[in-house]
Structure 1
Amino acid sequence: MAHSRPSPRNFVVNARTKRGAVPFSLTLGALALACVLLGWFAFDRVLGPGDPGLGDPILGDSVDLSKELSALRKERRELQGQLSALRPRGSYVVVDRENNRIYLRRGDSVLVDAAASTGSGAILRETSGQQRSWTFDTPQGRFPILAERGNPVWTKPDWAFLEAGEAIPERLSERKDYGSLGEFALDLGDGYMIHGTLYERLLGRSVTHGCVRVGRDALRAIVDGTRVGTPVFIF
């Protein structure tokens, strides 16, 4: 199909439209630029060169922020120094009650990271007799290891028999429990210990009467890496 050529009149009209569009755009651009320059000139005339109302407050704020930043950095260095001074020089044990984890650390190095079991928080009340009560929490704070015992024997307290619904024995020999504390026990005082367990499937849960239970392999590593006097931090 043949295409018809545009008439000379149409061609001339289109050409004039294109030619006229360029000067019109340039005119608008030049007018806008002139307005910007005139506005800036008037603004500069009002404030004057170097007027403190323009730029100086920003510079002043920058100087103040720089001083404040330097002071904060100095304070951080001082706090880091204080923290380093408080950190034990040798090995230490950390017990995280919230996540039921136990760590053996030396400086910034973590030598043991293992699951543990801590206090359940349960309350046992005696319904007759002295009507005593016990709360099975693992205490918080810093505790030195007072003794390390192999093949420890647990002397059951009164609450162990009350919890089991058994009569409290009169003879000490009837309170002795062999094997339930595992291979080792680290004595923290007041009846609290870090010791092994027969129920490793319960590690990672808050199920104890206040002691910290640890699996066999982790407990062996902790015993090897500590001694009497090693601090234990429980939080």
Structure 2
Amino acid sequence: MSDSRPRGGLRREHPAFFWGTIVLVLLLLSGAGVIASRVPKYQSETEYFNRQLSAAQRATRDSLLANQQRRTALAVAVLRRDMRIRSLQNKKRHLAIILNDSVLELRQGVATLRRVHISVGPDSTVRAPDGRTWRLVRPLGERKVAERETSPVYTVPEWVYVARGEPVPPEAERKVPGGLGAYVLRLDDGTEIYSQPSKGPLAETVKPGAFMTRSRDLAAIFEAVGENTPVYIY
């Protein structure tokens, strides 16, 4: 026999479950609405904090770089002071290059035998289209004279042409007699002290990372030094 009693559905048969579910759904919807209304604010606050963090990171980076630069400057200052002291303490004949004054001095102990003006080649970085890089830096510290040459045949380096944006000629075409002038003192690290040439690509400009002076000024110094003569650069 069938049951003919009317059915009230879920609400009548399980009122607690029904109304509890309704309340839960309403709470979820309400919470979603609140969250949705606050999303723009959350996004704004997030962007603000991101900007603040980026600023803080930039400040930290700048501070670290500044500290590094100060440490480097201090190290250079200490090295220059030490080189000056060592030059004054050396009782034998030697050379001193004072970068700030752009002068080269021939010394015997503390006595200056000859003082000449020099052109100091700047620090320079040359990059070729094929990725090769030449870093030319002024030396600092103690060196020694390794070679003395008169009017040598100078092979112009490739970077000279790269720096000018010109094609690099074959090596045979880059050889210039007297391309570093009449007198050249080459130090043990490859640095050159040379007299101004009358021809070649260095006739009108000083070679980066090198020192150039007039022929008559370098001539007297050239004859007074030999291999292994100390050179103090500060």
TM-score, scaled to structure 2 = 0.55
Residue type at the aligned position of 1:180: G
Q: Is the counterpart of residue 191 in structure 1 residue 193 in structure 2?
A: no
What corresponds to 1:121 in structure 2? 123
Residue type at the aligned position of 2:121: G
C-alpha contact 1:153 1:177 (8 A) present in aligned 2: yes
Aligned-partner Cα distance in 2 for 1:85–1:225 = 17
SS of structure 2 residue aligned to 1:145:
strand
Give the deviation of 1:189 after TM superposition: 3.4
Give the deviation of 1:98 after TM superposition: 1.8
Listed as ranges, the matches of 1:169-188 within 5 Å are 169-170=169-170, 172-188=171-187
Residue type at the aligned position of 2:135: T
**Deviation string for 1:25-65 (max 9, x for gaps)?**
xxxxxxxxxxxxxxxxxxxxxxxxxxxxxxxxxxxxxxxxx
Aligned residues: 144
Aligned-partner Cα distance in 1 for 2:218–2:122 = 21
Give the deviation of 1:100 after TM superposition: 1.0
Aligned-partner Cα distance in 2 for 1:191–1:155 = 14
**Deviation string for 1:67-126 (max 9, x for gaps)?**
xxxxxxxxxxxxxxxx68983332100111222111000012111111101121233222
CA RMSD of aligned residues (A): 2.4
What corresponds to 1:220 in structure 2? 219
Q: Which has the larger radius of gyration?
A: 1
What corresponds to 1:209 in structure 2? 208
Q: 1:156 to 1:189 in 2, by over 3 A?
A: farther
Aligned-partner Cα distance in 2 for 1:88–1:134 = 34
What corresponds to 1:165 in structure 2? 165
What corresponds to 1:134 in structure 2? 134
Identity across aligned pairs (percent)? Answer: 28
Residue type at the aligned position of 2:101: N
Q: Which of structure 1's runs of 4+ aligned residues deviate more than 4 A?
A: 83-86
What corresponds to 2:3 in structure 1? none
TM-score, scaled to structure 1 = 0.55
What corresponds to 2:155 in structure 1? 155
Aligned-partner Cα distance in 2 for 1:207–1:150 = 18
Give the deviation of 1:226 after TM superposition: 0.5
What corresponds to 1:111 in structure 2? 113
What corresponds to 2:232 in structure 1? 233
Residue type at the aligned position of 1:137: V
Aligned-partner Cα distance in 2 for 1:84–1:152 = 32
Q: Structure 2 stretches of 5 or more lacking a match?
A: 1-84, 199-204
Aligned-partner Cα distance in 2 for 1:99–1:85 = 16
Listed as ranges, the matches of 1:67-106 within 5 Å are 87-106=89-108
Aligned-partner Cα distance in 2 for 1:132–1:187 = 25
Residue type at the aligned position of 2:168: I
**Deviation string for 1:137-172 (max 9, x for gaps)?**
2211111111111112211222012123222234x3
C-alpha contact 1:182 1:198 (8 A) present in aligned 2: yes
What corresponds to 1:16 in structure 2? none
